[in-house]
Amino acid sequence: MTVRTAGRPATAAATLHALINTVRAHGLRVSTARRVVLEALVAAQRPLTADEIAAARLDLGSVYRNLETLESIGVVHHVHLGHAAGRYELTGRTAGWATCQACGRSTPLDAEAVTAIAAVVRAATGFAPSFTHFPIVGRCPDCTLERSLA
């Protein structure tokens, strides 16, 4: 049996309620820890590390297990913004990421940019790329300018 929720978890507007419905629809329980993880991700302004999500209230191991479970049902995914710990966010919050190898800052990509880039990547390589798991890595505008001035 499939339970269809009102909205897609595709925008920042994906409410905690909708996410919890999805969890239930997959036959999973809504435990306190699971709810806390979801609340943290809903409130976050950027992808969070497991450590940030645990934040003294939850066991790190439980957080990782929950994130894995939530990834398996598609409501959460993680991104590697550089060499640091992986970061988790609600699915659909961004179209992709770009990280500067010089200053380390990361920026979300808008859908149009990703669409344009994906078309060229596909034409040039045959790959249908995604920049939500590994970002586009390079020099950001600021750091590119710096280098050209040096």
Binding flag, residue 124, its own copies (CB under 8 A): yes
Side chain identity at 16, as an amino acid letter? L
- Please state the length of the chain: 150
Return the H-helix or E-strand segment holding 87: strand 87-90
Residues between 56 and 85 that touch DNA (CB under 7 A): 58-62, 64-66, 68-69, 84-85
Binding flag, residue 130, its own copies (CB under 8 A): yes
Compute the distance between CA of residue 97 and CA of residue 87 in angstroms, rounded to an integer: 12
Binding flag, residue 67, its own copies (CB under 8 A): no
Q: Would you tell me how many other CB atoms lie within 10 Å of the CB of residue 118?
A: 17
Residue 118 Cα distances to 112, 113, 136, angstroms: 10, 8, 12
**Least distance in Å: CB of 75 to its own copies?**
18
Binding flag, residue 9, its own copies (CB under 8 A): no
Contact residue for its own copies among 24, 101, 103, 146 (CB under 8 A): 101
Closest CB to DNA among 35 and 139?
Answer: 35
